[in-house]
Amino acid sequence: MSSSPNVIVFFTDQQRWDSVGLHGNPLSLTPHFDRLAAEGMFVPNSFTCQPVCGPARSALQTGRYPTTTGCFRNDIPLPVGQKTLAHHFAAGGYETSYIGKWHLASQDPVPLAQRGGYQHWLASNILEFTSYAYDTTMFDDAEEAVKLPGYRVDALTDAAIRYVTKPKDKPFFLFLSFLEPHHQNEFDDYPAPVGYEDRIRKNMQLPPDLQALQGSSNEHYPGYMGMVQRLDEALGRLIDSLISSKQLDNTIILFTSDHGCHFKTRNSEYKRSCHEASIRVPTFFHGPGLMNRGPYDGLVSLIDLPPTLLDAAGLPIPTEMQGQSILRRTSTPDDNVFIQISEHHVGRALRTWRWKYEVTAGDLSGSADMNSPRYQETYLYDLENDPYELENLCDRQDYADVRNVLRAELLQRIIDAGEPRPVITST
């Protein structure tokens, strides 16, 4: 057995934090997530730094904010030459492999130069455009189409199991990137495995924000949670393969997602907002050096996960990474997470232990403009007294002092991320 641990990233797409049992979901659909997170290091306060697919993926691959790499919205390829986790693990003696959705290139099949340095490849740039729930096609190292049988989650998991159980001369780093529980774009639907949606609908219990605001949740939530259940079953199958190949004790696993899903309650689609439903995601670490740590008690950004993963594997953390390894810090009362928002609008937000604060640039295009010289205060939520963000306090004069403090903190986070200092106009 190699002295270096194997590493797997189990990456889901658009998965809400409260879709898992450890976060209180009453449907009991995620026993594998719940068990592994409880055994290892659960990260209950985990947030994306950009609630849309491509930018979030650029941050997780590079450890740098989307505005630093330039990938501030979808359909901007990761710059050729940008160092990724694949480069850092390969430099540490690892074989690297990518399976699933990439969303950081300009085309399908993804050309070699746009694969972020991964040595082995079975992926699609935009998996929702090359596959359906029971019709999965991806592309291999030679850019040849590969059609895989079964439900899409299972097709990717089968490929991952084949990879991790194949004998290797080096430890491996596998990035396994699912589409689920993201909607199927053409149909605006959440196609669960056959039979799952009907069963879940009979016992459906909506989270409180969706109970209050509805959106498309009555139509879409059962299918969405059916996809979540199948992902959890896939996680269990992958773990079984590691047990049977005697690799589990020497394998680090990171489970996380790129962003959440608000079911058209906060804007006209599913994400791209500052709200918990968009930004909070389920996350855990499991494996050597990470067992029995209990829940990490700080606020954690997606930008912190790449340095943490390298740190856990015993590899150096590149100085250009903008996050911090959570293995090297403890939580403090002034913990906060910085969020950049694009496409729907240009926004910047701060999530602290108690407050959610967002400023927006109403006169700019979220698809054309990376940032703004001027923002307007737009949202303020008291998460202690309003955890489901149903009352916006931004116009309340009695919260002016709170906004003053948060404005200063947000301006500093914007500057620390490498952006020009803007002007923030109060309400």
Q: What is the mean pLDDT of the chain?
A: 97
Q: How high is the pLDDT of residue 1? A: 42
**Mean pLDDT, to the nearest integer, of 278-305?**
97
- Domain span at residue 378? 345-425
Residue 334 falls within a domain, yes or no?
Answer: no
Q: Are residues 145 and 20 in the same domain?
A: yes
Give the pLDDT confidence of 239-252 residue by residue, as tens digits: 999 999 999 999 99
Q: How high is the pLDDT of residue 21? A: 98
pTM > 0.85: yes
Query: Per-residue confidence at 2, pLDDT binned at 50, 70, 90?
Result: low
Residue 404: both structure tokens together: 């003053």
**Mean pLDDT, to the nearest integer, of 343-371?**
95
Q: Which CATH number fits the domain that encloses residue 366?
A: 3.30.1120.10
Q: Are residues 156 and 246 in the same domain?
A: yes
Q: Are residues 260 and 205 in the same domain?
A: yes
Q: Are residues 308 and 402 in the same domain?
A: no
Decide if pLDDT at 3 tops 90: no
Residues of the chain above pLDDT 90, percent: 97
Q: How many domains does the chain have?
A: 2
Prior bond to 307 cis, omega within 30? no
Q: How far is CA 94 from CA 4, 100, 159, 164, in A?
A: 9, 19, 19, 13
**Mean pLDDT, to the nearest integer, of 216-231?**
98
Decide if pLDDT at 273 tops 60: yes
Decide if pLDDT at 427 tops 90: no
Query: Per-residue confidence at 332, pLDDT binned at 50, 70, 90?
Result: confident
Task: Decide which of 260, 294, 328 is a domain's last residue.
Answer: 328
Q: Are residues 118 and 194 in the same domain?
A: yes
Query: Per-residue confidence at 68, pLDDT binned at 50, 70, 90?
Result: very high
Query: Per-residue confidence at 402, pLDDT binned at 50, 70, 90?
Result: very high
Q: Are residues 120 and 172 in the same domain?
A: yes
Q: Which CATH number fits the domain that encloses residue 275?
A: 3.40.720.10
Residue 266 falls within a domain, yes or no?
Answer: yes
Residue 1 falls within a domain, yes or no?
Answer: no
In 3D space, the residue among 152, 138, 201 whose CA is nearest the CA of residue 181 turns out to be 152
Distance between CA 143 and CA 123 in Å, rounded? 9
Residue 27 falls within a domain, yes or no?
Answer: yes
